[in-house]
Amino acid sequence: MGQGTTRQQIVDAADELFYRQGFEQTSFADIAKVVNISRGNFYHHFKTKDDILDAVIQARLDRTQHMLADWEQEGATPKARIKCYIRILLTNWSMIKDYGCPVGTLCTELAKLNHASRAEANKVFTLFRVWLGNQFKWLGHAQDADRLAMQVLSWSQGVATLGNAFDDYDYVKQEVDEMCDWLDALPVGTA
């Protein structure tokens, strides 16, 4: 039941539960049940629940950076790499349909709570934004790079939200195809 140090198991369990149930809705009892420790044992590893949240956000930042680095290797061209991002809507569909986008939903929840870690959670968005922007720069869209990055980000956010609400895989598939078509049609400049 779980691997790594107890601390790591707590972070892993919290990571998934915060995604599936939301941060506030996840109690120490919920996490303790997964990790199979007592509630009191938490406080040897973390001072407060907010500290667990910070550790979860850090884990997500690290994981995202590794994923972006992988895509950097995986895709031969900037367009191929951007499609790696677009495709996560399909790759993670089984989770998205029930729990939405893990990045967007946490940012939204922390915004409503006006939580101190809101800015830290937003950094996951920034990682994608900067990475996508770099791809568009390499495509020769130095001027519009950030605008195009935000366009891809918001497109996928909107599709995730509506795909989740209407539980409609066909719609998501269709939008992913349309995003890829839009990307293919995007002119490739010369710096």
Partner DNA sequence: GTCTATAGATTGATAGAC
Partner DNA sequence: GTCTATCAATCTATAGAC
Residue 47 binds which one of DNA, a second copy, none, with CB within 5 to 8 A depending on kind? Answer: DNA
Tokens at residue 184, please? 């293919």
Side chain identity at 169, as an amino acid letter?
Y
Residue from 42, 71, 128, 131 touching DNA (CB under 7 A): that is 42
User: Can residue 169 be called a binding residue for a second copy (CB under 8 A)?
Assistant: no
CB-nearer residue toward DNA: 8 or 92:
8
Residue 149 neighbours by CB distance under 10 Å: 23
Give me the least distance between CB of 60 and a second copy, in Å please: 14
Residue from 1, 3, 40, 73 touching DNA (CB under 7 A): that is 40
Please report how many Cα atoms fall inside a 13 Å half-sphere around the Cα of residue 52, on the Cβ side.
27
Residues 75-104 that bind a second copy (CB under 8 A): 98-100, 104
User: Can residue 185 be called a binding residue for a second copy (CB under 8 A)?
Assistant: no
The one segment of 40-48, 57-65, 127-135, 171-179 that binds DNA by CB under 7 A: 40-48
User: Can residue 77 be called a binding residue for DNA (CB under 7 A)?
Assistant: no
CB-nearer residue toward DNA: 112 or 191:
112
Output the DSSP codes for 112-176: HHT-TTHHHHHHHHHHHHHHHHHHHHHTT-TTTHHHHHHHHHHHHHHHHHHHHHHT-HHHHHHHH
Report whether 25 contacts 56 (CB < 8 A): no
128: CB partners within 8 A, 6+ apart: 64, 68, 85, 103, 149, 153
Residue 13 binds which one of DNA, a second copy, none, with CB within 5 to 8 A depending on kind? Answer: none
- Torsion 140-143-148-149 (CA) sign: positive
Residues that bind a second copy (CB under 8 A): 20-22, 24-25, 98-100, 104-105, 107-109, 111-114, 122, 125, 147, 150, 153-159, 161-162, 164-166, 171, 174-175
Please report, as ranges, the residues that interact with DNA according to CB under 7 A: 6, 26-30, 36-45, 47-50
